[in-house]
Chains A and B, each alone.
Chain A
Amino acid sequence: MKKRRKLGRGVAVVGAGMSKFGMFKDRDSKDLFAEAFNEMIASVDKGVDTGDIDALYLGNFSNDFFMHQSHWGPIISDLIGLTPKPATRTEGACASSAIAFREGIFAIASGFYDIVLVGGVEEMSKRTTEEVAEGLALATVPYEGKAGFTFPGVFGAIATAYFSKYGATREHLMNVTIKSHNNAPLNPKGQFKLSIRDLMNAKVESAKKKGKPVPEWEDEKAFLDDPAANPAVAWPMHLYDCCPISDGASCMLLVGEEIAKNFTDDPIYVVGMGQGSGRGLHACDDLTFFEATRYAAEEAYGMSGLKPEDIQFAEVHDCFSIAEILHMEDLGFFKPGEGYKAVEAGLTRLDGEKPINTSGGLKCKGHPVGATGISQLYEVYTQLRGKAGKRQIPIKDLRIGGAHNLGGTGGTCTFTILERR
């Protein structure tokens, strides 16, 4: 019987910011974090003095590899004028900043600090695609790398196991991609802004302009099934099953629950959180779920007293299309083997009964790995406060949302539940 975990002191989010995500030639990690930080400061309804922030927890996976610069805690702390206050870097591969968020919570819940800045940053696009792939592969399990597995390869293998067990096909993965891309034009901070339909039209127009043969596709699935438009990366993962290489930063301001109203009349409360760790592919008896996600979910549901059906919407870690399906099942939103049917039925669309990845997900918003966890929480925070603009979820009384973050090949998984009261 697992212990039901509780925070020693409640914690609320009172501000959030994120930079635009994308590939930026002329902007570095500091520029991107400054953009996120300035938005966060401006978002605190009643204002906050930077000098009152007690500490920084910063998620960063591998700027050491990507930028040949390590030790980002104090660099970012100095950027925003926080030194000599403590700055701590957290690393959990693609879940690095979800862990920074948790450390910030623990620091406040313990009573040691009252006001904590948590954030994440990653700068990847200044390396070649091959170098980025090599950098990301540092987060696989050693045996996977030696067998030739890349990250898309790991998720490709997981997809074949899922297909084999439940009868899903590539076409079902396309539904995930089309759904994510439909949300993309609605997120001004995202890396990709076009729906698949818009992309097809753009390619037709471009071919006409250049006097090249004009491609014809019957529908979006025909486009995604065309190897010229959507080549295989690691079968069955194709280009449009994979998230892009991105730069970006995100941050949030956390405070003790009893002082939250000093900052805003509309704080968002942290009601559930969990973190699990997992083994590599070879050590899993069943490759169609992530043990670490299930553990994190159980912990978060246990802490909050909530059930999967209480989570009105969520951001889930869709580094690859198949991952979105598995994680929705692991979080209990749909039964094992039912996730792909839910996507097909439209349940996870922005106007569906359980909207998933309204931000466009990692697929379209982008995935600057160390910034991703808090950017997911940023989306949940923004939706709960009714400030998501064109992508605002059309559910009345939006109160509870979740964010799920995965690192490595399931090595680190987190689930966090936020509530508006």
Chain B
Amino acid sequence: MEERPFSDISYEQFLHEDKLMGSRCKKCQSLFVPPRPICINCHSSDMQWVEMGGKGKLSAFTCIAIGPSFMIAEGYNRKNPYCSGVVELEEGPRVDARIEGVDTNRPEEIKVGMPLKVKFLHRGEGDDLKTYLAFEPQ
């Protein structure tokens, strides 16, 4: 796996394999998820892959009633909103992800700071197979 480029495509491939991966700068140790090929801290391009433990906490969220077509296809709508959020990983970086296992009709009850664990959502088949990064309450 160390051979893969530090790219969005590799990030997605790892998600298919149920792995949440980031890149660490070998020079200044800055950690990036999704991975970056160039360190935005020291501008080095000497990176290495690091797997995240999959635990974090909710930094921000929203319950979306009117979503894009791929979410509507999954059955989400005004009566059945879905939750998207920003999750701060235990290792530090933040990721955008879907948040499952929360009551989206009672958003007041969803709390910033709540502990979460990773979940990989596999959707579609064959060439259309997609994996979405998600988190759910610990």
Residues of chain A within 8 A of B8, CB atoms compared: 142
B96 touches A147 (CB 8 A): yes
Verify if A308 is at the interface (C-beta below 8 Å from B).
no
B112 touches A161 (CB 8 A): yes
Known: A160-B60, A231-B78. A137 touches B68 (CB 8 A): yes
A148 touches B95 (CB 8 A): no
Verify if B64 is at the interface (C-beta below 8 Å from A).
yes
Beta-carbon contacts under 8 Å, A150-202 to B: 150, 152-154, 156-161, 163-164
A234 touches B94 (CB 8 A): no
Known: A235-B63, A235-B107, A282-B86. A147 touches B97 (CB 8 A): yes
Residues of chain A within 8 A of B34, CB atoms compared: 143, 282
Give the tally of cross-chain contacts (CB within 8 A): 113
Docked pose: A130 CA to B71 CA in angstroms: 12
Verify if A237 is at the interface (C-beta below 8 Å from B).
yes
Residues of chain B within 8 A of A237, CB atoms compared: 62
Against A, the Cβ 8 Å flags (1 = close, 0 = not) of B91-122 are: 00111111000001001000011000000000
B96 touches A234 (CB 8 A): no
For A281, give its contact among B60, B71, B132 (CB under 8 Å).
Answer: B60
Docked pose: A146 CA to B121 CA in angstroms: 12
Verify if B61 is at the interface (C-beta below 8 Å from A).
yes
Residues of chain A within 8 A of B66, CB atoms compared: 129, 133, 150, 152, 233-234
Residues of chain B within 8 A of A152, CB atoms compared: 62, 64, 66
B69 touches A160 (CB 8 A): no
Against A, the Cβ 8 Å flags (1 = close, 0 = not) of B7-45 are: 010000000000000000000000000100000000000
B98 touches A148 (CB 8 A): yes
Residues of chain A within 8 A of B48, CB atoms compared: none
Q: How many residues of B contact A (CB 8 A)?
A: 32
Verify if B65 is at the interface (C-beta below 8 Å from A).
yes
Residues of chain A within 8 A of B97, CB atoms compared: 147
Verify if B75 is at the interface (C-beta below 8 Å from A).
no
Docked pose: A339 CA to B59 CA in angstroms: 21
Ordered by A's residue number, 28 sampled pairs between the chains whose C-beta atoms are within 8 Å are A141-B96, A143-B95, A146-B133, A147-B133, A148-B64, A149-B62, A149-B84, A152-B66, A156-B62, A156-B64, A157-B62, A157-B86, A160-B112, A232-B63, A232-B78, A232-B81, A233-B64, A233-B65, A234-B64, A235-B62, A235-B104, A281-B60, A281-B86, A281-B96, A282-B94, A282-B95, A283-B94, A285-B94
Against B, the Cβ 8 Å flags (1 = close, 0 = not) of A228-266 are: 000111111100000000000000000000000000000
Verify if A280 is at the interface (C-beta below 8 Å from B).
yes
Known: A157-B85, A234-B62. A143 touches B96 (CB 8 A): yes
CB B108 to nearest CB in A, in angstroms, measures 9
Residues of chain B within 8 A of A164, CB atoms compared: 60, 112-113
Verify if A144 is at the interface (C-beta below 8 Å from B).
yes
A160 touches B61 (CB 8 A): yes
Verify if A134 is at the interface (C-beta below 8 Å from B).
yes
Verify if B82 is at the interface (C-beta below 8 Å from A).
yes
Verify if B67 is at the interface (C-beta below 8 Å from A).
yes
Residues of chain B within 8 A of A147, CB atoms compared: 84-85, 96-98, 132-133
Q: How many residues of A contact B (CB 8 A)?
A: 40
Residues of chain B within 8 A of A108, CB atoms compared: none
Against B, the Cβ 8 Å flags (1 = close, 0 = not) of A97-115 are: 0000000000000000000
Verify if A12 is at the interface (C-beta below 8 Å from B).
no
Which 6 A-B residue pairs are closest in the complex by CB-CB distance? Answer: A156-B62, A164-B112, A147-B96, A157-B60, A161-B60, A235-B63
Verify if A224 is at the interface (C-beta below 8 Å from B).
no
CB A4 to nearest CB in B, in angstroms, measures 25
In the complex, what residue of chain A is closest to B133 when comparing beta carbons?
Answer: A147
Verify if A145 is at the interface (C-beta below 8 Å from B).
yes
CB A93 to nearest CB in B, in angstroms, measures 17
In the complex, what residue of chain A is closest to B72 when comparing beta carbons?
Answer: A130
For B60, give its contact among A150, A231, A287 (CB under 8 Å).
Answer: A287
Docked pose: A156 CA to B112 CA in angstroms: 13
In the complex, what residue of chain B is closest to A147 when comparing beta carbons?
Answer: B96
Beta-carbon contacts under 8 Å, A285-313 to B: 285, 287
For A130, give its contact among B69, B98, B113 (CB under 8 Å).
Answer: B69
